[in-house]
Structure 1
């Protein structure tokens, strides 16, 4: 699917938005959990700090005593990163009390200016022990009667970081699975929701391929009005084409009698004047027929129901031309499995008949009608499905200058043969009206190849 596909656009932007939302939710939840964990960690340190305050005392000599029980074996495991320390503050001269986990002097004490005490006279600061553990220390100073003491409780920051890491892993895993599942469900919902548009596209392809003449199917309420409007447009188009055909027929009928009268009257003239009048009337008749054909083609060009079976038309024209030109061998070479054209059958047969008639006049022995896939003409609205129909003979052919001259309206290179000089011009107009092209080239047998490039009909998927 291309990026300009509606399905791809919805899937792409929906997936991007879902991914952004899931990542944002994960970051917010992770941040909230970290804040809560850090608050709980600090609260635990302060609770342990209060437990030590209540468990120690100082006698009259300034000696500290007490055995705090903080309910954690980490305070008894060496270099665990969990310590408590009680230092007497001079002039008290007693010895300090420390937890069993402390294996040295303990973490350094920063200045009060760097980490001041809070309103509750407790301060926290980071530190590092001799084992390299990152610590958070809660410190306070209390008056124990005979003297004062500095009490510190240190907690290992790795504990909270490991807990946060485990939580983030589970959070991201859960949200990742949820996101993947949501994207899959979202994709399925979008594909199912847009399926009626695909049905409508296929219905239009069937109309274009000549397999249907209107949109049919059970469309949802959002698309049903569009399908109804398209069907009405097709019906209106058909009525316009039929009305144009009737008007063309009426005009041809109304002109037929006056032209016939002029031809009959010209026989009464002097031979020279009669020939002149008949020539002019013949020319007028050809011109009228050409413009009538052009009006009919223009009316039919906009019809989405225009179609022609090139194979049956070619076979029929070969049979007719073979009977009229028994000295010429007609054959066909069709190089595509579905030689069907988005052209009115009558227009294609008229163009093909003109080309085969011209080829039969100048062919020595054979005329070949070839049908093959072709590149679209420059500026074509449809990019695919074009067919080239070539009528090739083994005659003398034409030079480059003669080809240009032959395509001019009313020009005849051989005045000794019958004709009006309008055949190739009519073919070029038919090709042009259907968005195709017409050219004269050299045939494989060395004669002339008249090549029409016309829009084709794609086979039903």
Structure 2
């Protein structure tokens, strides 16, 4: 996947969303758990506060006392994390720590000066002994003594470290489950992305089928969101077919229009020969034949470049090669050469027969034209059909090899030619998704390698 990949963008967005969602969910659950624990501890502190309220009294000497100690043993253990304290007013002055639990040791909790209604419970977060952070519940109670009302502030506190410990333990227990949820969400994201992008892959295969000639249009079995794209592609294909048909019709008309002048030129050459002007007649016939070959080759190029190869095209390469060699060996260039052919019994390429004959004909004619004594032809069949044609001719300079196949290019003017043969060969190979390469042969001549799609 690249930076421009839609799949990567979806993955990045999905993974970021999952990470944020898991983090928020974890934070929210931990916060809810912490609040739940605080409420539960608040209930426990009220129970302790109620027990302290029930035990507080004023003795015969007018001093604040307890009828019984709170039963929780942590009140008697220094710095245990659970504490109680009683503040009271004496002669209008608030005395803090009139009574306090043994667990406070020599520490007095500094309760805030807030307004308390009798019986109402207030909750505070205050510092405690040994740098502890306390969660405190306090209540104002009034006791009658000697005809007077004494106001007392009763407070019970618990170290918040217990809350933090419970919270951290809960977070640690919850982390594997959140990780499992993240994995499940990632799997669901993978399925969602695969399902969502599947129509695009189907479109790609459909376009590939059209390009290879196995189909003419994209089918209508796509989601509604993709159908506008499918409609535009099909419309473009229809317009392209119409343009190709017009171009083919124009080319056919042009070829038909040239036939009459060429036929007349041939007739004039025949009359000149009958009149004894043989040299002039031969020149006219050679000119007419050259023009006819040029027209035929341009028609082939027009058909190949139109991309209108029939579906399921198949041709036997070895059979076509043997037929061309038999024909070529009857020509002056072919008859003087030794042809060495290495080929399997059968090799089927996904090409039209006419296109293969045009391709091989041009390559073999080029080899026959420049070879001195011998031409080697090798065919191998596999996932792709590979043909190698090597001659022992003068070859081509290395820096000129990339230019071979350019239309009208003639690197050597000493021999006849139009410069179209290799260009047509390249057009045929490109039209079928093949590959055409040129190299210097070990024998010094030109080595041509053609890779074509296999029909097997």
Q: Would the TM-score normalized by the shorter structure come out above 0.5?
A: yes
Which deviates further from its counterpart, 361-370 or 258-267? 361-370
Instruction: Indicate whether 1:136 and 2:135 are aligned.
Output: yes
2:294 is the alignment partner of 1:292: no
Match of 1:29 in 2: 29
Structure 1 portions without partners, runs of 5+: 374-384
Give the Å deviation of 1:21.
1.8
Q: 2:317 aligns with which of 305, 311, 314?
A: 311
Counterparts of 1:176 and 1:290, CA distance in 2: 68
Judged with a 3 Å threshold, the aligned counterparts in structure 2 of structure 1 residues 75 and 104 are, in CA distance, closer, same or farther, namely closer
The alpha-carbon distance between structure 1 residues 447 and 139, as it changes in their structure 2 partners (threshold 3 A), is same
Q: Which residue of 2 aligns with 1:255?
A: 258
1:63 equivalenced with 2:63 (yes/no): yes
C-alpha separation between the residues in 2 aligned to 1:139 and 1:255? 114
Q: Which runs of 5+ in 2 are unaligned?
A: none
Determine if contact 1:359/1:393 at 8 Å carries over to the other structure. Answer: yes
CA distance in 2, matches of 1:402, 1:39: 88
Instruction: Give the Å deviation of 1:353.
Output: 0.7
Conserved? CA contact 1:290–1:426, under 8 Å? no
Give the aligned partner of residue 38 of structure 1.
Answer: 38
**Counterpart Cα distance in 1 of 2:410 and 2:132:** 102
1:252-298 deviation per Cα after TM superposition (whole angstroms, max 9, x unaligned): 34422321221221344455654554454444434433443433333
Conserved? CA contact 1:263–1:281, under 8 Å: yes
Per-residue Cα deviation, 1:367-405 (whole angstroms, up to 9, x for no partner): 2345799xxxxxxxxxxx999855321134355799889
Kept after mapping to 2: 8 A contact 1:412/1:420: no
C-alpha displacement of 1:20 = 1.7
Deviates more, 1:156-165 or 1:137-146: 137-146
Structure 2 match to 1:360: 368
Matched, 1:152 2:155: yes
Query: In 2, distance between residues paired with 1:387 and 1:258?
Result: 42
Matches within 5 A, 1:38-437: 38-42=38-42, 44-45=44-45, 48-49=48-49, 51-67=51-67, 72=72, 74-75=74-75, 79-86=79-86, 90=90, 97-99=99-101, 102-103=102-103, 105-110=105-110, 115-120=112-117, 124-129=124-129, 134-139=133-138, 144-146=143-145, 149-192=152-195, 194-206=197-209, 208=211, 244-245=247-248, 248-269=251-272, 270=277, 273-274=280-281, 277-300=284-307, 311-312=317-318, 313-322=320-329, 325-331=334-340, 340=349, 345-369=353-377, 390-398=388-396, 409=408, 413=412, 419-424=416-421, 426-427=423-424, 430=427, 434=431
TM-score (normalizing by structure 2): 0.71
TM-aligned CA deviation for residue 144 of structure 1: 3.6
* Offset, 1:316: 4.3
Deviations 1:388-443 (A, max 9, x none): 8553211343557998899783859475x6x4434446537736974988776422
User: Is the Cα–Cα contact under 8 Å of residues 83 and 104 in structure 2 kept in the other structure?
Assistant: no
Give distance in 1, aligned partners of 2:24 and 2:400.
Answer: 74
For the 8 Å contact 2:367–2:391, the answer to whether it is kept is yes
Q: How far is 1:195 from its partner? A: 4.0
> 2:176 & 2:115 partners in 1: Cα distance?
40
Root-mean-square deviation (Å): 4.9
**Counterpart Cα distance in 1 of 2:160 and 2:170:** 16
Given that 1:406 and 1:413 are in contact with CA atoms closer than 8 Å, whether structure 2 keeps it comes out as no
Matches of 1:396 and 1:278, distance apart in 2: 31
CA contact (8 A) 2:315 2:352 kept: no
What per-residue deviation string (whole Å, max 9, x for no partner) do you get for residues 131-166 of structure 1? x75433445665544555553322122222233234
The question of whether the paired residues in 1 share the 8 Å contact of 2:437 and 2:448 is answered with yes
Cα separation, 2, equivalents of 1:427 and 1:237? 22
CA distance in 2, matches of 1:134, 1:405: 87
Task: Give 1:444's aligned residue.
Answer: 442
Equivalents in 2 of 1:35, 1:405: separation in Å? 81
Q: CA deviation at 1:83?
A: 2.0
Q: 1:4 to 1:40 in 2, by over 3 A?
A: same
Q: For 1:238 and 1:161, how far apart are their aligned partners in 2? A: 75
Give the distance between the partners of 2:261 and 2:124, measured in 1 at CA.
115
Q: Deviations over 1:354-377 (max 9, x none)?
A: 22113123324432345799xxxx
> Does the CA contact (< 8 Å) of 2:77 and 2:103 recur in 1?
no
Give the number of aligned pairs.
Answer: 435
**Alignment check: 8 A CA contact 1:329 1:367 kept:** yes
Distance 2:264 2:80 in 1: 123
Give, in angstroms, the shift of residue 15 of structure 1.
Answer: 3.7
Change (3 A) 1:439 1:14: closer
